[in-house]
Amino acid sequence: MHSHLGPFLFALAFLLGLPVLAAAAELPKVGDLAKDFRLPAQDGTTVELSKLRGEWVVLYFYPKDMTPGCTVEAHNFSKDQAQYAARNAVVLGVSVDGIDSHKKFCAQEGINFRLLADTDKRVADAYGSLRNFLVAKVAARHTFLIDPHGKIARVFADVKPATHSREVLAALDDLGARPRPDVAGMK
């Protein structure tokens, strides 16, 4: 399908009253062990979730590179990277877009954290975050906070891109990932 047809098909389906999104599998629950995965990132590395034990992980799924909501959300996560580092947290964005799309998105928008390419859609599906969008499958806008022991500590299923990074930082604080004064120039 040509990428320029997506917005047209969405608008047409909306106007006709057709269901645009179909639900995915059930979301993991707080306390569940986070499902391990290995995915390529735009920076040439491969990320294996289990290798991040000892750190908090913000695993956020988003529908599409270079779209308005996804860009706002990524900009806010980028802007707040020092605050995540101070809380010993790593941010990982996941969509079904490929590496080349992620590279372009990061270069064009100044994204300073890793975006993972889930082109076979297995990770989004395993996290209950795969949605049928008309004739394509995309990642739903969900975020999972994973604690340093590899367990799901918080699930965000109703994400508002403009305020989500602040919401995640507050949740990290609530869960005990307090800012460390020795990191990122915080006092």
Q: Give the global pTM.
A: 0.83
Active site residue 70: yes
Q: What is the DSSP code string of the chain?
A: --TTHHHHHHHHHHHHT---EE--SPPP-TTSBPPP-EEEBTTS-EEEGGGGTTSEEEEEE-S-TTSHHHHHHHHHHHHTHHHHHHTTEEEEEEESS-HHHHHHHHHHHT--SEEEE-TT-HHHHHTT-EEEETTEEEE-SEEEEE-TTSBEEEEE-S--TTTHHHHHHHHHHHTT-PPPTTSTT--
**Which of these is catalytic: 39, 41, 47, 70?**
70
- pLDDT tens series, the chain, 187 aa: 444 555 555 554 544 444 444 445 689 999 999 999 999 999 999 999 999 999 999 999 999 999 999 999 999 999 999 999 999 999 999 999 999 999 999 999 999 999 999 999 999 999 999 988 777 889 999 999 999 999 999 999 989 999 999 999 999 999 999 765 555 444 4
Question: Is 19-174 CATH 3.40.30.10?
Answer: yes
